[in-house]
C-alpha cells in the first residue's frame, strides 16, 4: 500500500516535494481551416457538467484517456484521436526518457525498447563512434554496478558542501568585501540545509515509532485472537488490555481502507525510508554519492557512465512509470496502454535519488538528440542550478536539431514565474530563448474547482499547459503496475501526444508541435482552487491564469489541428 495513502488515511499531514512564452502562438486557432464535419475540434467546455458518480477502479485507471464531452472527465480524448488517425500511416519515432533507471525488461515495455542498431552488443567497442561504448538501449550517466541504486545529495546541499571549506567557522569580520555576498548566501543555504535535515530526522523517527507501535499492536491482536489474519468485525469485538484503544483505532482505519495490515505496514516503512534518505543522504553535507569518477564541474570530461540503464528495479520506479505512460505497448491485452504507438523508447539514466547534476542533464539531452530522439521527456527539476548555462546550451542544441523537450513543472505548489525551477527555457522567467520546450502542470480528474492538482507548480509565463497528473496508473518495475501522482506523470502524457503527432505528421517541426499542443487544448473558464501546500488554505483564481495557454491537453484536437496544418484542409 502506498505510504502517502496510509498516512493520510490515519489523519497524518505529509508533504512530499519534487519529486512559458510571451510571444503569440505560431498556430492561430482563428485562422485554422475548418475540419471535416465528422471530425471537428471541440474546445469550449462552458456547458460541460462534471461527472458526479463515483468512478470504478477500472475507470480511475483509465481516466487520462477519457473524453470530457462524453465521459464528463477531463482526459485527453485519446480513443477519438486514434479513430481520426485510423486510415493514416504512421512512422516509427524515437522518444527518449531522461530519468531514473527504466525496466525495459517489463512485459509492457520490452517490445518498444529502442535498440542502437549501429552498435554491436557487449564487444567493448564504440562501434558507431558516438562516444559511448555498447550503448545498446541508451546510456547510464549515473554509472554504478548493475542493479545498484543512485542516492545523491540535493543541489542546495552540494553548494553548501562546496563552500564549507572556505567559510565554515568564520564570522563576517573574517570575510573580504569581495566575498561578503557569497558568505551571506552560504550562511542562508547552510541554515536551510541544517533545518531540513533535522526535520527529516524527526519525521523518520516519528514514522519509525509508528511502525514499531503498530507492529507490536498487530502482534498482540494476533496473539489474542489466535490467528494471523483478522477482520474488522473481529478486531472491533476484541476487548483485550494488551491492545490500547488508540492503537486499535489505527488498525481499524487501516483495515477499513481495504488494505491488509501487512500492506499498511509496508506503506509506513516506505515513509521511514523516504525521510531516511533526506536525513542521511539528501541533506547530509558529508555524503558522497557520485561513483562515475568524472569531474562534475567540467562539461568537457565526458568519458564516464555505462550502458546499464535499468538501474535498481528494487529502488527506482520513477523512470519505468513515466515510460509506461508514454509508450507501454498498446492493445496487447496486459497492463495498460501507453499514449503513443509506433514509438521506440530510448533509456537515458541521469536522475538519481536526489538532485540531478547539470552536467548529466546537458549531456543526456545531447545524447538523446544525437542518437535520433524526436521527443525527450524530462520529469525532473530542482531549485538550484549552478551550471544552468550548460543545460541552456543543450536546449538550444536540441532546438537546432528539431527535437521537442517536454518538462514537468514541479511539485512544490509554487508560482514558477517567481520561484526558481530548473531546467527552464527562460533566463529571466519572461522571455524564452528557445521554442522547443513545453512545460507541463498537473491536473486531477475532477472537472470543477478542484481540477488543478494541489501539488502542481503553475505560472502564466512558465507553465505552458496542464495534463493528467493525479492518480496515474502505469508500469512499475518487475511487471507490476501502480498509480502515483505528480507533474512527473503529467509531462509524459504530453510527450506521448507529441510523439503521436510527430509519428503521423513528421513534417511538423518541434516548435509547431509545441504550439499545436497548446492551441488545441480544452479551455476551462472557471475559478478554481490554486495549488497549495497540504494543510494550507487554497486561494482561488481563474484556471486560465495558471499557464500560458490556460488549457488542458487534448489529443483529439491536437491531431485534427496537426492534420489541418499539414494538409491545409
Both 355 and 319 in a single domain? yes
Both 140 and 181 in a single domain? no
Both 165 and 110 in a single domain? no
Both 357 and 419 in a single domain? yes
Low-confidence stretches of the chain (pLDDT beneath 50): 1-2, 4-33, 35-37
Confidence (pLDDT) at 54: 87
Distance between the two ends of the chain, CA-based, in angstroms?
51
Q: Is residue 207 part of a domain?
A: yes
Q: Rounded to 5 degrees, what are φ and ψ at 176?
A: -65, 150
Residue 86: its H or E element? none
Q: Rounded to 5 degrees, what are φ and ψ at 99?
A: -165, -160
Q: Where are the alpha helices (DSSP H) in 110-243?
A: 155-167, 180-225, 232-237
Distance between CA 245 and CA 218 in Å, rounded?
A: 13
Both 485 and 555 in a single domain? yes
Number of domains in the chain: 2
Helix pair angle (487-504, 78-85), 10° resolution: 10
Confidence (pLDDT) at 242: 79
Q: Is residue 288 part of a domain?
A: no
Q: Which three cell numbers, joined as nine digits, stand for 116?
A: 542502437
Contact 80, 58 (CB under 8 A): no
Contact 324, 482 (CB under 8 A): no
Domain final residue pick, 282, 314, 339: 282
Q: Is residue 10 part of a domain?
A: no
Confidence (pLDDT) at 39: 76
What is the full DSSP assignment across 325-382?
A: HHHPPTTSSSS---S-SSEEEEEEE---BSPPPHHHHHHHHHHHHHTTEEEEEE---B
Q: Is residue 276 part of a domain?
A: yes
Both 408 and 465 in a single domain? yes
Domain final residue pick, 282, 315, 341: 282
Confidence (pLDDT) at 38: 62
Domain final residue pick, 219, 254, 282: 282
Both 127 and 168 in a single domain? no
Which residue range forms the structural domain that includes residue 492? 21-149+296-567
Q: What is the CATH number of the domain that holds 318?
A: 3.40.50.200
Q: Is residue 204 part of a domain?
A: yes
Both 251 and 328 in a single domain? no
**Rg, C-alpha atoms of the chain:** 24
How many other CB atoms are there within 10 angstroms of residue 58's CB atom? 9
Both 227 and 346 in a single domain? no
Both 270 and 133 in a single domain? no
The contacts of residue 153 (CB under 8 Å, 6+ apart) are: 161, 281, 282, 283, 284, 287, 289, 354, 355
Confidence (pLDDT) at 35: 46
Q: Is the dihedral of CA 263, 264, 269, 275 positive or negative?
A: positive
Both 204 and 253 in a single domain? yes
Q: Is residue 477 part of a domain?
A: yes
Q: Is residue 87 part of a domain?
A: yes
Both 403 and 472 in a single domain? yes
Q: Is residue 210 part of a domain?
A: yes
Amino acid at each position: 500500500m502506498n505510504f502517502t495513502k496510509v498516512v493520510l488515511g490515519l489523519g497524518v499531514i505529509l508533504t512530499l516535494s519534487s519529486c512559458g512564452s510571451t510571444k503569440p502562438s505560431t498556430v492561430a486557432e482563428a485562422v485554422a481551416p475548418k475540419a471535416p464535419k465528422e471530425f471537428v475540434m471541440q474546445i469550449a467546455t462552458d456547458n460541460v457538467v462534471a461527472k458526479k458518480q463515483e468512478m470504478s477502479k477500472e475507470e480511475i485507471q483509465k481516466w487520462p484517456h477519457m473524453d470530457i464531452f462524453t465521459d464528463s472527465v477531463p482526459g485527453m480524448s485519446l480513443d477519438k484521436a486514434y479513430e481520426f488517425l485510423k486510415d493514416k500511416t504512421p512512422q516509427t519515432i524515437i522518444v527518449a526518457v531522461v530519468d531514473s533507471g527504466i525496466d525495459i525488461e517489463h512485459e509492457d515495455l520490452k517490445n518498444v525498447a529502442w535498440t542502437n542498431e549501429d552498435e554491436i552488443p557487449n564487444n567493448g567497442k564504440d562501434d558507431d563512434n558516438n562516444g559511448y561504448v555498447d550503448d545498446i538501449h541508451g546510456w547510464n550517466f549515473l554509472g554504478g554496478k548493475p542493479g545498484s541504486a543512485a542516492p545523491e545529495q540535493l543541489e542546495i546541499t552540494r553548494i553548501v558542501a562546496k563552500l564549507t571549506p572556505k567559510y565554515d567557522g568564520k564570522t563576517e569580520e573574517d570575510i573580504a568585501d569581495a566575498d561578503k555576498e557569497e558568505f551571506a548566501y552560504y550562511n542562508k543555504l547552510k541554515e536551510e540545509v541544517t533545518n531540513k535535515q533535522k526535520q527529516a530526522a524527526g519525521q523518520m523517527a516519528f514514522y519509525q515509532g509508528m511502525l514499531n507501535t503498530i507492529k507490536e499492536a498487530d502482534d498482540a491482536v494476533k496473539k489474542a485472537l489466535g490467528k494471523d489474519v483478522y477482520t474488522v468485525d473481529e478486531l472491533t469485538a476484541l476487548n483485550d488490555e494488551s491492545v490500547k484503544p488508540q492503537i486499535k483505532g489505527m488498525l481499524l482505519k487501516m483495515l477499513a481502507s481495504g488494505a491488509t495490515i501487512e500492506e499498511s505496514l509496508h506503506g509506513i516503512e516506505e515513509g521511514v525510508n523516504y525521510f531516511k534518505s533526506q536525513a542521511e543522504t539528501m541533506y547530509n553535507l558529508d555524503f558522497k554519492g557520485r561513483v562515475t569518477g568524472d569531474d562534475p564541474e567540467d562539461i568537457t570530461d565526458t568519458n564516464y557512465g555505462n550502458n546499464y540503464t535499468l538501474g535498481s528495479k528494487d529502488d527506482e520506479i520513477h523512470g519505468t512509470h513515466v515510460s509506461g505512460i508514454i509508450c507501454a505497448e498498446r492493445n496487447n491485452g496486459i497492463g495498460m496502454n501507453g499514449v503513443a504507438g509506433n514509438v521506440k523508447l530510448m533509456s537515458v539514466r541521469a536522475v538519481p535519488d536526489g538532485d540531478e547534476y547539470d552536467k548529466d542533464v546537458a549531456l543526456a539531452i545531447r545524447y538523446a538528440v544525437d542518437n535520433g530522439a524526436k521527443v525527450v521527456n524530462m520529469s525532473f527539476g530542482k531549485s538550484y542550478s549552478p551550471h544552468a548555462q550548460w543545460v541552456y546550451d543543450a536546449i538550444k542544441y536540441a532546438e537546432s536539431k528539431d527535437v521537442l523537450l517536454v518538462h514537468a513543472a514541479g511539485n512544490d505548489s509554487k508560482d514558477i514565474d517567481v520561484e526558481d525551477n530548473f531546467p527552464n527555457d527562460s533566463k529571466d522567467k519572461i522571455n524564452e530563448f528557445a521554442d522547443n520546450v513545453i512545460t507541463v502542470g498537473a491536473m486531477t480528474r475532477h472537472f470543477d474547482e478542484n481540477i488543478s492538482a494541489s501539488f502542481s507548480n503553475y505560472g502564466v509565463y512558465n507553465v505552458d499547459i496542464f495534463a493528467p497528473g493525479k492518480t496515474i496508473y502505469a508500469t512499475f518495475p518487475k511487471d507490476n503496475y501502480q498509480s502515483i501522482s505528480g507533474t512527473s506523470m503529467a509531462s509524459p502524457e504530453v510527450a506521448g501526444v507529441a510523439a503521436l503527432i510527430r509519428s503521423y505528421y513528421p513534417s511538423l517541426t518541434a516548435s509547431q508541435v509545441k504550439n499545436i499542443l497548446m492551441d488545441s487544448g480544452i479551455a476551462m473558464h472557471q475559478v478554481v482552487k490554486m495549488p497549495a501546500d497540504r494543510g494550507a488554505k487554497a486561494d482561488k483564481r481563474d484556471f486560465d491564469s495558471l499557464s500560458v495557454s490556460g488549457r488542458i491537453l487534448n489529443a483529439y484536437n491536437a491531431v485534427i489541428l496537426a492534420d489541418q496544418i499539414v494538409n491545409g484542409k
